[in-house]
Every structure is written in structure tokens, then in C-alpha cells.
Amino acid sequence: MTAQGGPREPVGDQAASALRRAVLAAARETRQNRLAERHERLAAETGLPFHRSMAETHRKVAARHRAAARLQEAFARRAALWSSDRGARPLFMTEVADACGTRSAALTLVGADLGQLAVAASDRLARQAQDVEYVLGDGPAREAARGRLVVAAHGADVEQRWPGYGVGLAGLGLSAVVAVPLTAPSGCFGALTVFDPRPGLAEEGVLDEVAAALADGVLLGADAEADLYGGADLRAVVHQAAGVLSEQVRCSVSDALELIKARAFAGGESAESVAERIVSGELRLPPGPFGVD
């Protein structure tokens, strides 16, 4: 993954890489469908439940590859048409949001302690919403990853479920959220979150399919594109600042990280903004509860 503001692969190369991955994903879908057809024939011939179960499994895997192929192809098409005079660079997460049928979507990768390691967003609104969760350490993505289940809330339920996060979300003009865990055989490693989805989206299975495609066909595996074509930001500057601050105020790195988050929350800014000022030497925080005596 690339740190925020780090060098990125040229868009033309990204388009070619995405198209290659789309072709590979489509080929994997075809193979899985053929295996499913074989087991369906055997199920019809033998009546054995084993073959019916295997056919269903292969169809599900095929659907994941199909969704991954569509995401990669859509991004490749957008990237191939982009030029520097046409505005901001295309983001892979824009295609994810479109596939989910929503305007704003964010993806977070988490560590064993459920702390955010990286974030990618379709737009500024989604990124701001995810920053609120990061600063507070509480919200739908964290809950989805912890419980390995779909989490959904709207209206007053958002604030009741996550008081601080709910206030922050409302402040951004958002009123509903759905988060789906990203899972692998080794466990859960993140979550896909969509904001202000259409009614009933959480029950339609679309988000589950997109999340599975991201986990199996994009983020993990031999042909992974873990940084989402430069769109995923490590929170490296925050951890760098935590190291700097821990030396300044003589506390643990984890305590320094909490100080940065508290300062960000109190000041209504992102943790990255506070961290950048600490690293540059512009800001020095005394060891008070919000970075003030």
C-alpha cells in the first residue's frame, strides 16, 4: 500500500493492470461455473447431497469472481478515459460505491486489535465519516469486523448505537450506514461501509457479494491489488507522529496515539492533520487529556 500522498502508478498502467485482472477474474468465474455444472450433473445422476452442496459452493465462488471482474473492468474503463485535464484521478472505490448502488463507500483494513491500518474511500464524505470512526475508535466498521456480521443503522438508531460517531455522522449530513466484514480463512481483516444506502440494500445480498469480491478477488490472493490502485492510504503519518509524540511527552506510543486522536476530536479535524503538524514540528502537545494543560 502507499502512504497518503505517496507516488502512484501512472493511470494508463493502472488501466492495463485492472483490465488484466478483469480477464483473469472472468476466467476464474468460467472455471468455477464449469465445476458447478459438473457437480449439478452428478447430483442429477446420483441424487447425492454432496454434489448439490459442491455445486452451490462453486456457484458462490463464481459470483465473487464475476463481481471482481466487473469492478476491475469498470475501473479500467474509467482510468483509460481519464486525462489530467479532466479533474481528479479515478478511484477504484468509486466503482465499489457504484456496484453497491450508493454514492459513498469506504473500506478499512484492521489489525488484530481492530485498529484501522488503512482506509480507502469513494469520496471526501466517505473519508470524513471513516475518520470520525478512526478518531473515536467506535462505529459500524469496527463492530462489523469484531462480530464478523453485517451492521446496519439509520436515523436515531445511529446515535443510540454509537453516540459520538452518530453525532459526527449527522454533522456530515449522513443518516444511515451499513458495514459488511471482509473475511478470509484466517479471520476478519476489515470492513466495507456504505453511507446513506437505498432502503433494503442490506437485505439484498449486494453488499455481501461486493465485500466477498474485494476480499477474494482484489485485496488477497496471488493477483491482489491491495492498495486499490493507489487509492488506499496507510495511516503512516499518524503512527509516525505517535512515535514523535511519545518521545516528546515520555509516554507509550499507544498513549501518544490516543492523545493525537483526542486532539483531533476536540479540534474537529482529522488525525492526519494533527499528525502532520506534529511531525513537521508546528505542533507540540503536552500530556494533557486533549493535548492541553
DSSP string, 11-67: HHHHHHHHHHHHHHHHHHHHHHHHHHHHHHHHHHHH--HHHHHHHHHHHHHHHHHHH
Report residue 279's pLDDT band, with 50, 70 and 90 as the boundaries.
confident
Considering the domain boundaries, does residue 287 fall inside one?
Answer: no
Mean pLDDT of 235-251: 77
Considering the domain boundaries, does residue 265 fall inside one?
Answer: yes
* Last residue of one domain, picked from the residues 86, 109, 125: 86
Query: Helices 49-81 and 206-213, interaxial angle, to 10°?
Result: 80
Please tell me the least confidently modeled range out of 72-76, 128-132, 281-285: 281-285
| Percent residues over pLDDT 90 in the chain | 60
CB 255 within 8 A of CB 261: no
CB 195 within 8 A of CB 129: yes
Range of the domain at 47: 2-86
Considering the domain boundaries, does residue 202 fall inside one?
Answer: no
Average pLDDT value over all residues in the chain: 88
Mean pLDDT of 56-73: 95
| pLDDT at residue 2 is higher than 60 | no
Considering the domain boundaries, does residue 276 fall inside one?
Answer: yes
Considering the domain boundaries, does residue 15 fall inside one?
Answer: yes
Instruction: Supply the pLDDT for residue 126.
Output: 96
- Residue predicted with more confidence, 153 or 275: 153
Considering the domain boundaries, does residue 24 fall inside one?
Answer: yes
What does pTM read for this prediction?
A: 0.83
Considering the domain boundaries, does residue 111 fall inside one?
Answer: no
Instruction: Supply the pLDDT for residue 226.
Output: 82
Report residue 145's pLDDT band, with 50, 70 and 90 as the boundaries.
very high
Instruction: Supply the pLDDT for residue 290.
Output: 45
Considering the domain boundaries, does residue 30 fall inside one?
Answer: yes
Q: Count of domains in the chain?
A: 2
Report residue 8's pLDDT band, with 50, 70 and 90 as the boundaries.
low
* Last residue of one domain, picked from the residues 51, 86, 121: 86
Mean pLDDT of 256-277: 80
According to DSSP, residue 86 is labeled: G
* Last residue of one domain, picked from the residues 86, 116, 132: 86
